[in-house]
A = this chain, B = another copy of it.
């Protein structure tokens, strides 16, 4: 589908442009069909959130930056949707934070793993973990192909940044004792609820902010970073995000939304 299809005046132009990019990534075998449905769920929650980074979102971004900087062995997990939307940002974050990149798919096929590896390398990555036979370790308590992770990556990581992740696997990683940071527009999802830090935001908006926060906090003393983590309360942050959604739904309901937009 061609971008020219989107009329600029369309009230949802930005959202449609992203939608078209992710659809093209299916054709390039980077995104699985189930990834498109997941993207749609995100679109709906983002719409209710107000399509902007909120204050609880920003708190979670700051806490994530602190965790990544303090980590001994931080890993950035990349699935198809993440690669399609933010390959460059993941490579940049990996470089500025000395984190490794790992391809970590819900629907594993070697072809898709290689397509994502290539996308990351094209965006400047030196090394990409988790491709093919490299994903030979297992997440505990997961009994399908979905348990596979790289022994040099997620398996031995202390901090894992796994945006747009499946609930079972997030839970598995937390139970393995890892600190799990995620991005999930649905504050009620199991991933959102199980993670140590949940950034309730669109990954496209969150990544540049996370990069800025890592750059800013790298110059700060470890004690201050530890204080950021100590003061961070994910349950409270999730609750604040839900309240924002609830209030926005309330105000949209009151004014009837779209019909007074000029298009």
Contact = CB atoms under 8 A, between A and B. Distances in A.
Interface stretch (A41-49, A95-103, A224-232): A41-49
Contacts of A239: 253
A258 B250 CA distance: 23
Specify which of A47, A235, A253 lies most central, judged by the most chain B CB atoms within 10 Å of its CB.
Answer: A253
A19 B37 contact: yes
Contact of A44 (B41, B193, B194, B238): B41
Specify which of A107, A243, A258 lies most central, judged by the most chain B CB atoms within 10 Å of its CB.
Answer: A258
A176 interface: no
- Counting every copy of the chain, the complex holds 2
B40 A36 contact: yes
A22 to B, nearest CB: 8
A111 B239 CA distance: 47
Contacts of A39: 37, 40
A188 interface: yes
B193 A256 contact: yes
A34 interface: yes
23 contacts: A1-B107, A11-B190, A33-B36, A36-B36, A37-B37, A37-B39, A38-B40, A40-B43, A41-B41, A41-B44, A42-B44, A43-B44, A47-B186, A47-B188, A167-B258, A187-B253, A189-B258, A190-B258, A193-B256, A193-B258, A193-B259, A238-B256, A239-B253
